[in-house]
Structure 1
Amino acid sequence: MSLLSRIQEKKPEQKNDSSVEATQEETQDVASPKKDLMAVFRESRKSEAPKKKTNQSPVNKHQELKNLLHKQILQEMKEDEEIEAIIPNIDAMAIEIIKEDETFRGKVDRKRVVDELINDLTGFGPINPLLLDEDVSEVMVNGPSHVYCERKGKLELTNITFRDHEHVMSVIEKIVAPIGRRIDESSPMVDARLPDGSRVNAIIPPLALNGPTLTIRKFSKDPFTIDDLIQFGTLTAEMAMFLDACVKARLNVFVSGGTGSGKTTTLNVLSNFIPNDERIVTIEDAAELQLGQEHVVSLESRPPNIEGKGSISIRDLVRNSLRMRPDRIVIGEVRGSEALDMLQAMNTGHDGSLATGHSNSPRDMIARLETMVLLAGVELPVKAIREQIAGAIDVIIQQSRLKDGTRKIVKITEVQGLEGDVIVLQDIFTYQQEGVDERGKIIGRLIPTGVRPKFYEQLETSGINIPVSVFLDEEDWPV
């Protein structure tokens, strides 16, 4: 008996419903009422509208070969055998099936079928090539037939498709299951991470109307260094020298910016300035930071279980970290009531802490922190909250993703203190946009404002010497 015969022998017979479908179509034609003008208009609009891509076809030989291969793998795999052991034999199986069934010849790309099957078995299905592509920084699956990616800062529609909604769900479950997360109708949203630290968000029906939606923000396998950010134009060498000094002098630094602006990457780079002999506790929703120091304790929040219990929030972890004798506390993102505990920690001896948050400017970040403190449920007067913020945070780094896709630190701002009821901010470095070139790239430069920070003397007493020229624009340098 041939290989194809053995596989098909196990395949259940499918009923031929073509006659039933034909009868239904005839019935519909007879019963359909006379079309009015609005119906005609709608039909004409449908014909003008762009047709959506679909994977369903009467005879999908590509999928048929893939299914046959999958069944043959299941038949030939021995008990407790690793899937990697059978991967080298898949191509030979495909060749044998095609030899026995002439209908596959000329209609199926064998290499593509084998590659897709290997991606399904060992990776994350159709999107695996995008995850392996170093030029791709983000992958967005908006249902089975619409897969987008961000390549070199620009969004583009790919030719990658999934088989159906269940295929997308299987990939999502493959991502979240190993880290103890779950996603179903009772818990239709999840934040997770890939083994390389890339951030994953998934949302499924009934919340996602277009089907399971998956967003993956990739991180480099080798964490970016400060030299990489200088090369990308995210900041200048002078700004890097200044930030290095701020971290080593144990100033409290807050990185703010919009979604996708590069806050986590910058936080990771800043964390690498922390001396190797200090104890660091990192706190995140999904562990993404890749610190190179030896003494690092990574904490990760936990969502509630199926009964709605057992949740451990960022705020709980911040409180617990204070009992762990940390030299530095690094918070992946401050978005709620944990802001109060973070500010108290910064004001009670835990200097040199780092954190990120969402905002459009340093001033907006201050206002958001005030709001987040109020979420803690403690009735504090606004002035007391502002005193906490002014005493805790020393430097705010504002990062933005510009229209051409580039990510830049557009402001480094000092929090100088409280005057009356207003927190005084002073820009140390800023980004000056000068125009746009013929390729759509934004022309601009990062320049110092000429103002030395108030904590400059604190840097000197810490044994850190920064040339005064760092705070002056090249045009203002003395001749």
Structure 2
Amino acid sequence: MSRRSRAVGNHPASRTFVEQIHERFLPAPAPEPRDVVAAVDTAAPLLDRNHAAELVSEVLARLAGTGPLADIWSDDEVTEVMINGPGPIMIERRGQLSAVGRISAAEVHRLVEYLLGPTGRRVDRRLPMVDVRLDDRTRCHIAVPPVAVDGPYITLRRFPAHVRALDELAGPAEAACLRGLIAQRANLIVFGPTSTGKTSLLASLLAAVAPSERLVIVEEAAELPRLGEGAVRLEGQPPNVDGIGAVTMAELVVTALRMRPDRLVIGEVRGPEAAALLQALTTGHRGSVSTLHADDPAHALWRLEQLARGGGAVGDVAAHIASVLDGLVHMSRGADGRRTVSAIYEVCADGPPRRAAMGVQAVAS
């Protein structure tokens, strides 16, 4: 390998080299690959073929809009990517945060356009925040000035390509208890703080449902993976640029009940749909499951009650919840980043939730 190859190939200076080639083609439309090849050959005629090909690929990725995310996105262990305006790119891998590379102001703006282009959504000073699903595995949130002081801010959450086994998310006794609860058609709420694996556990629970059962899944932004031919997925929709066309979660729950579900699944209860969920459980849709942001079981029940009241539920809502909900499953994340089931609780009509015995009869009604 030539001295020039070593200087450019695996050296920090290669990043500057890529940026220089990248900037030559901005802000014109993306060039043909042969044009980038020619630019690299002209700038570094002594570069060996392999390193030249790597640099061409990186320049093309940046011009396409993915920029320095190209390599990050190929790593299946990366579950979150956080861009806080120009500067370092933060990622979460195996539950741990780290900085990988940097992104320029021009690249941040181009990345916003690249991510939102296929969705038909927009973000600007009038609509400074947007939340979209990019594909079956990726959810994207973007905030721009004036609400994002140093923005644009981009947060990308990736979901596993495959459903994890219950034993990966729970101890042997807890996993056995959860399988029993699913088999006995217990109504369950999975709760925990943000990014503790609630959706992952929900997917694992649904994978334990018999293939013959019809699941109707309602989500604000589809995050659960495809779960077989018996599963139907409904996704909420925001209003269009004219402020019309919105489809709320509450409306989707009503729609779901007209689709003959064996089990109703709500990806996350966070609004008025809580009242519709309680009505669905009251009408006999046993084995329904959902998730909820909460820190402890008492808080989970209190929050569900407040959300249901916001959706129009009246009367003794707390007693109503206790009569239709069987169990609460607490997800937590340890200091090592591992997400796991920390406890399973029985919902009691005569008092606060109590830890369930690992025999499923203690929870299922």
Provide closer, same or farther for how the CA distance between residues 257 and 72 of structure 1 changes in structure 2, counting only shifts above 3 A: closer
| TM-score, length basis structure 2 | 0.86
Match of 1:163 in 2: 104
Q: Residue in 1 aligned with 2:22?
A: 66
**Greater relative contact order (CA < 8 Å, ≥ 6 in sequence):** 2
Task: Note if contact 2:347-2:363 (Cα within 8 Å) is conserved in structure 1.
Answer: no
Identity percentage of aligned residues: 33
Shift of 1:68: 3.7
Residues 180, 360 of structure 2: 8 Å contact kept: no
2:249 alignment partner in structure 1: 314
- Mapped partners of 1:347, 1:175: distance in 2: 41
Q: 1:268 aligned to 2:209?
A: no
- Selected match of 2:152 from 208, 212, 231: 212
1:224 to 161, 164, 179: 164
Match of 1:469 in 2: none
What amino acid is the match of 1:216?
A: L
Equivalence map 1:365-380=2 (5 Å): 365-378=300-313, 380=314
Bigger Rg, structure 1 or 2? 1
Partner SS state of residue 115, structure 1: helix
Match of 1:415 among 337, 343, 347: 347
Whole-Å Cα distance in 2 between the matches of residues 271 and 176 of structure 1?
31
Unmatched runs of 5 consecutive residues or more in structure 2 = 1-15
Distance 2:171 2:240 in 1: 46
In the aligned structure 1, how far is the partner of 2:282 from the partner of 2:158? Answer: 34
Structure 1 residues 332, 389: closer, same or farther in 2, change over 3 A?
same
Helix, strand or coil for the counterpart of 1:146? strand
Please say if 1:119 is aligned against 2:61.
yes
1:12-40 deviations in Å (ceiling 9; x for gaps): xxxxxxxxxxxxxxxxxxxxxxxxxxxxx
Q: Distance in 1 between matches of 2:37 and 2:198?
A: 47
Q: 2:172 & 2:344 partners in 1: Cα distance?
A: 14
Q: Secondary structure at the match of 1:207?
A: coil
Q: Distance in 2 between matches of 1:138 and 1:74?
A: 28
Aligned match for 2:78, one of 136, 147, 153:
136
TM-superposed CA distance for 1:393, in Å, is 1.0
In the aligned structure 1, how far is the partner of 2:83 from the partner of 2:264? 34
Q: Measure how far apart 1:281 and its partner are.
A: 1.1
Shift of 1:412: 0.4
1:263/1:71 CA distance change after superposition, 3 Å: closer
Match of 2:110, SS state, is: helix
Aligned-partner residue type, residue 398 of structure 1? H
Q: Secondary structure at the match of 1:275?
A: coil
Distance 2:198 2:37 in 1: 47
1:149 maps to 91
Shift in Å, 1:130: 1.5
What is the one-letter code of the residue matched to 2:189? Answer: F
Give how far 1:452 is off: 6.4
Structure 1 residue 62: Cα displacement: 4.3
Q: Which residue of 2 aligns with 1:10?
A: none
Is residue 349 of structure 2 the alignment partner of residue 427 of structure 1? no
Asked if 1:255 corresponds to 2:183, the answer is no
Q: Distance in 2 between matches of 1:347 and 1:261?
A: 29
In the alignment, structure 1 segments of 5+ residues that lack a partner are 1-59, 78-85, 430-447, 459-479
Q: Distance in 2 between matches of 1:167 and 1:247?
A: 47
Deviation track 1:129-171 (CA, whole Å, cap 9, x = no partner) reads: 222113322111011112111122221122x22221x421321
